[in-house]
Structure 1
């Protein structure tokens, strides 16, 4: 069954996204440049230059929610490309080959003229190389650097001491690449980059992140939980894709105010809350009601997803040099979510902050650092269920999974 959204902010964000996407399609049809960018790429440059963009993984989530992912993956397979790796990043590429795009979800993905991605893994780079080989499409690649010595308490350092947390060498590289990206976009689109515009964008992003931090902390400290992750995800993530706009900043504030009102009124998503659960991994986009069914059957509420938490801890960056501050937001972004000890220490911190009783950990085939995340949580005394499936490819999901999670809940969490 489908569970209705409880929050007006979630409904409003979804409505806004539909209208925005319709406008984007009209802009593309008129011949204006449109970009496709990865979720963990510096979208703020495009925002400051007035270049509209679609987030690669957002489009994959829409396709998966409409149960169309196997179709687009099949289009890749027909052309000799693998359909079993990096599905979250390759579905948009499959959309490019759709012979009937008008019947696609939301009217179809407009053909981009620019794609932006990072060299994270061999498969990811090759996906973007295929994009760049298509007529009229240019690909700009960003490197993925690493650092031997890392600060496990990065969330405390990142807002102001990001140079210490990330390291000068990584930031130097990213700043150089951002300069190159600006030159590439100016040459490709004819748009002009302005530092003042970027400063305004970054200020708005920081304001948005602060509202998300307040919301995260409010939810963490409230029992029973005032809302479900199926509400928090659209309320936080749709504004995230519009970072650097007043609408996104104000949407984050409205989300906080609505949660605050629910807390003040004593509202609970599950009156009979017996357990607080954490969902680690990307959203299970083809079955978002998965999370709610455990409330109804077991009184177990998913109070945490990475989306609100990373929006609170992963984005605030303050500094006088706007390009270097932007580099600090993305130079180590994947480390925060996937690379131990960065990721492991953060997940344990968040589990304790939210006082969770158990963790369901989605482990995809392309997962990075999943073993270490599970080990760190179990070492902290927190039960973990590893759900092995892809978050957009329905073929990977076993019908017996939900029953297995229920048995784990009753035995290891509620027992």
Structure 2
């Protein structure tokens, strides 16, 4: 199925490829490179102009280029597991792909990896970086909430002390300062708090545009743009948070959505069923999101990427370091933890008027069943699939199309 692509999505992809070429030149010219997990405070590196690549973005690119299986096979050949935490591990497996095979010339070996200790297996993945080359691993602690606030999305922009608690924020502020001290020694560059404040302000501007975009899409009937395009248009600028380009890209995306709605554009003119995709993007088969439109009038209208960009990122406050800690202290909670995630997904399902949910559950997602049960108790049918979004080799991944079509026919009502 073909459709007119959003200019904002095409521009984001073009920019990302040019940006990565420039980054490779900088690193090959001797600048340090950091590989940073999505749950780590990238804004500090942005404020210090340290080149970095987000681990999950690189994994998504490897998957989109149909190289995830080869990267995971490389881990297996070295004696490491290839069937656990694949999304974290793909970059490690891909780093030695030949330059003529690897995406965009390949990922230079980073001198630093930064990630949160979200589990034993994830910790071991990042420990391996430090064992297989001249790479340092800087780990952040994973803290847990004692009390779960209701309607957290209303608290976190400004009342984040109330949402996350003083102890958790104190811990991450201290670790942020340790990271700054390490980076200054590693690079010889000086960290400036005023520069971080500027970065944080631009991130908030970007989040405000994303919230407006999310609200436009939520209210639109029928769906005016494809989820595939919303993912590209939102996530590539997300990896450039804190830059003026990212703010401008978020605004351009919003304006293009508004224009599509004004023009009466529809992804599927015969839209009859609205679907929600909970879980990470299926990078090795992004066409899946549009495969059910013509035959069933079933349109995916939601992914977590635009929604979390709208609700999860804005942080306002006079202390930029503490506001930054508030952005990442509860990052995993908001998307996955029981008590946090389910209420938010239900809010988003109702806001977007979804008729059914496909819930992709990876091996590192805690309490996913509770989210499924909350949605179904509210009368929204859920198809729960246990598979990795980064591993196309699994039987569950191979059956995805068949399972979703059966779900649409048998359980999702017009």
Q: TM-score, normalised by structure 2?
A: 0.98
1:147-170 deviation digits (Å, cap 9, x = unpaired): 211102110000010000000000
1:193-233 deviation digits (Å, cap 9, x = unpaired): 00010000000000000000000000000000101101100
Q: Secondary structure of the equivalent of 1:160? A: coil
Structure 2 residue aligned with 1:267: 265
Q: Give me the whole-angstrom Cα distance separating, in 1, the residues matched to 2:395 and 2:86.
A: 14
Structure 2 residue aligned with 1:340: 338
Q: Give me the whole-angstrom Cα distance separating, in 1, the residues matched to 2:395 and 2:295.
A: 21
Structure 1 residue aligned with 2:35: 36
Q: Give me the whole-angstrom Cα distance separating, in 2, the residues matched to 1:127 and 1:238.
A: 24
Q: Secondary structure of the equivalent of 2:162? A: helix
> Is 127-136 or 318-327 further displaced after alignment?
127-136
Structure 2 residue aligned with 1:48: 47
2:349 equivalent among 348, 351, 359 = 351
Structure 2 residue aligned with 1:12: 11
Count of matched residue pairs: 413
Q: Is the 8 A contact 1:286 1:394 kept in 2?
A: yes
Q: Secondary structure of the equivalent of 2:357? A: strand
Distance 1:227 1:119, change over 3 A: same
Q: Secondary structure of the equivalent of 2:41? A: coil
Q: CA deviation at 1:5?
A: 5.2
Structure 2 residue aligned with 1:188: 186
Q: Secondary structure of the equivalent of 1:395? A: coil
Structure 2 residue aligned with 1:160: 158
**What does 1:55-70 align with in structure 2 at a 5 Å threshold?**
55-70=54-69
**What does 1:70-85 align with in structure 2 at a 5 Å threshold?**
70-85=69-84
Structure 2 residue aligned with 1:318: 316
1:257-310 deviation digits (Å, cap 9, x = unpaired): 000001111111110000111000000111000010111221111000000000
Q: Give me the whole-angstrom Cα distance separating, in 1, the residues matched to 2:50 and 2:211.
A: 28
1:223-264 deviation digits (Å, cap 9, x = unpaired): 001011011000000000000000000000000000000111
> Is 334-343 or 365-374 further displaced after alignment?
365-374
Q: Is the 8 A contact 1:90 1:127 kept in 2?
A: yes
Q: Is the 8 A contact 2:284 2:390 kept in 1?
A: yes
Q: CA deviation at 1:135?
A: 3.1
Q: CA deviation at 1:9?
A: 0.1
2:254 equivalent among 250, 253, 256 = 256
Q: Secondary structure of the equivalent of 2:277? A: strand
Q: Secondary structure of the equivalent of 1:385? A: strand
Distance 1:323 1:11, change over 3 A: same
Distance 1:397 1:252, change over 3 A: farther
Q: Give me the whole-angstrom Cα distance separating, in 1, the residues matched to 2:308 and 2:239.
A: 14
Q: CA deviation at 1:363?
A: 1.4
Q: Secondary structure of the equivalent of 2:82? A: coil
Give ranges in structure 2 of 5+ residues lacking alignment.
none
Q: CA deviation at 1:134?
A: 3.1
Q: Is the 8 A contact 1:5 1:11 kept in 2?
A: no
Q: CA deviation at 1:96?
A: 2.7
Q: Give me the whole-angstrom Cα distance separating, in 2, the residues matched to 1:5 and 1:21.
A: 26
1:330-365 deviation digits (Å, cap 9, x = unpaired): 001000001011001100010011111110111122
Structure 2 residue aligned with 1:383: 381
Q: Is the 8 A contact 2:116 2:142 kept in 1?
A: yes
- The answer on 1:288 being equivalent to 2:286 is yes
Q: TM-score, normalised by structure 1?
A: 0.98
Q: Give me the whole-angstrom Cα distance separating, in 2, the residues matched to 1:251 and 1:323.
A: 25
Structure 2 residue aligned with 1:308: 306
1:58-93 deviation digits (Å, cap 9, x = unpaired): 100111111111111111111111100000000111
Q: Give me the whole-angstrom Cα distance separating, in 2, the residues matched to 1:182 and 1:61.
A: 28
Q: CA deviation at 1:388?
A: 2.3
> Is 291-300 or 204-213 further displaced after alignment?
291-300
Structure 2 residue aligned with 1:121: 119
Structure 2 residue aligned with 1:23: 22
**What does 1:129-208 align with in structure 2 at a 5 Å threshold?**
129-208=127-206
Give ranges in structure 1 of 5+ residues lacking alignment.
none
Q: Give me the whole-angstrom Cα distance separating, in 2, the residues matched to 1:159 and 1:400.
A: 40
Q: Is the 8 A contact 2:274 2:300 kept in 1?
A: yes
